[in-house]
Amino acid sequence: MLKRLRLGPSSLMLVESALLGLFFVQALRFLIGMLYTRTAGASLLAALNAIGVQPLVDSAPSQAQVNAEIAFTIAMLALPLLAVLLIRWRSVILLPILLMVIGRVLVNQPAGLSATQAAALVVGAGLMYLAFIARWRATLLPLFFVLGLAGDQLIRAAGNTLDPSTFSAGYAPVQLVLSVLVTIIAIAGLLWDRRIPLPPRPHPRYGQIPFWGGLGIGGLLFIQLALLSLPNAVAAKADYDYALLVPLLLVVTLLPAIPGVRGLMRSFIGNFDGGVRGWLWMLLSMLLVVLGTRLNGLVAAAALLAAQFAITLMWWWVVKPLGERDRSLSGIWLLLAAVIFSLLVVADLFTYEAPYVRDFGGNLVFLNDIIPPLLRGFQGMGLAVLILSVFLAALPMTQTRRRIPWDGGTRGATAFASGVVIVAAALGWWLARPPTIRAAPGDSTIRVGTYNIHGGTDEFFTPSLNAIADTILRSGSNVLLLQETEAGRLTSFGVDQPLWLARRVGMD
């Protein structure tokens, strides 16, 4: 079996990429939520201070702190540009790996950097790492995302949709162990790989991310993080059972990682002309997203699951082979991917926040006829933003006509990957199963409460779900009516707040 699986340095690199992919996804989700909440809190504090009101609580960050975090985030997103200069030395891949593992530890135990800045360090270093694996380990780049997203689903199932790895203080020792483990694996894998002569170019292990690949990664990251990789978001859109969707979504997310499945899809898509198959795949994916978000029940859930399978397969198209004389500019196009993803996140934000857009004051009054109307115009355009992201995600596929990157692999690899998918689905089902709710015996009084939880934050937008849960428990309410709840938005860390609160306080 070991010979069939061809265990070697590539196996260590696969484990390394899977864990770093998990770190990247966790940090990116956390970064989006923190930038939103801290910016909103600082803006509210500045508005109160401007009219001479001093808040009684000090949970809001200052504008200077938030400005420093935003500037640091922008600087970190430029890290992949370093790869353009350093990518010829494959040993330098240890630099982004070390930055990622250090940053991921600091997210849980801030020291010198805030948790927001630490998450930005992980994301920026992750983009730099992607440039290196595209150049030296191209076959692992799709698995970086697929396995990272699947791992994120499992951890969120364990936390009832909230990621305990970024919000639980008790997770810090676990993260430290994982970071040390990744570092050891990365060094061992690199030393082992250096003992093997490099094959001449062109070769499947050498690749690059082109311009179209950068657009594709930006679109893929958004559609995955905003909807398709979140079982609770899929459940909310389709009005279907969350506990059932967790294992099913894990299966469709991981199916493309099975070489045999990719081989079957290669045979299927090979029946279409190279000039049209990418566009047909794009239209099919768009149709599935529309059906999944406009219908309800089983049909909608099935459509979104099928969309997740089809769109996850697109990760294999963002890399193209590196020719003998080609120079890798992946770092530049990864920066483009970060810009595209950021713009999609901002557009998605204003599909909800458009009613709260205020006019500019002071020296910026001249923009009031342009910017505020534009931002308010995003209201209700959530589906349009999702469709745009699918369009961008499929562009690399439309531009690749002579090559189908879905390789078949060996029977041993297919069998092993299939076993992993089955185990992951079973674990996801066990973690997401609903708890048994027991009614309080002998209580003839029903207490009904109403609670505006402000999107899971306090009055200054500091995440406070645990404090909200404690308040609910102290209230003694049997029935609770919640307002301003969110079930999977990027800005609220992807948490299904009613589901998490219900399971936290033992209610249905």
pLDDT at 296: 93
pLDDT for 508: 85
Q: What's the rounded mean pLDDT across residues 71-77?
A: 96
Classify strands 207-208 and 320-321 as parallel, antiparallel or unpaired: antiparallel
Alpha helices of 318-365 — where are they, by DSSP H?
Answer: 330-353
Beta strand 448-452 with 479-483: parallel, antiparallel or unpaired? parallel
Backbone φ and ψ of 29, nearest 5°? -60, -45
372-375 CB contacts, 8 Å cutoff, 24+ apart: 375/350
Q: In this structure, how many other beta carbons lie within 10 angstroms of the beta carbon of residue 187?
A: 15
pLDDT tens readout for residues 277-307: 999 999 999 999 999 999 999 999 999 999 9
- Structure tokens, 417: 């990957």
Nearest to 331 by CA among 248, 448, 213, 418: 213
146 neighbors 315 (Cβ within 8 angstroms) = yes
Peptide bond connecting 200 to the previous residue in cis, omega within 30 degrees of 0? no
- 508 DSSP assignment: -
Q: How many CB atoms are located within 10 Å of the residue 262 CB? A: 23
pLDDT tens sequence across 129-161: 999 999 999 999 999 999 999 999 999 999 999
Backbone angles phi, psi at 201, to 5 degrees: -80, 150
Q: Given this model, what pLDDT does residue 104 score?
A: 96
Least confident of 45-54, 244-253, 296-305: 45-54
Instruction: Please calculate the CA angle 184-9-213 and round it to the nearest 5 degrees.
Output: 95
Q: Could you report how far apart the first and last alpha carbons of the chain are, in Å?
A: 47
Q: Which two tokens stand for residue 237?
A: 């859109």
SS3 423: helix
Cα angle 295, 297, 301 (rounded to 5 degrees) comes to: 80
Q: What is the DSSP letter of 247?
A: H
Q: Which two tokens stand for residue 399?
A: 């531009």
Residues contacting residue 468 through CB under 8 Å, at least 6 positions apart: 451, 453, 456, 501
CA distances from 58 to 49, 54, 114, 257, 318 (A): 13, 10, 17, 47, 45
Over residues 376-403, the mean pLDDT reads 92
Average pLDDT over residues 493-500: 94
496: tokens are 């299904």
Instruction: Give the up-direction half-sphere exposure of residue 244: CA atoms within 13 A in the CB hemisphere.
Output: 11
Q: Which two tokens stand for residue 316?
A: 């294999």
C-alpha distances in angstroms, 302 versus 139, 231, 427?
A: 29, 12, 21
Residue 442 has pLDDT above 70, yes or no: no
pTM equals 0.94
Parallel, antiparallel or unpaired: strands 320-321 and 448-452: unpaired
Question: Is residue 94 pLDDT above 90, yes or no?
Answer: yes
The Cα–Cα gap between 228 and 256 comes to 15
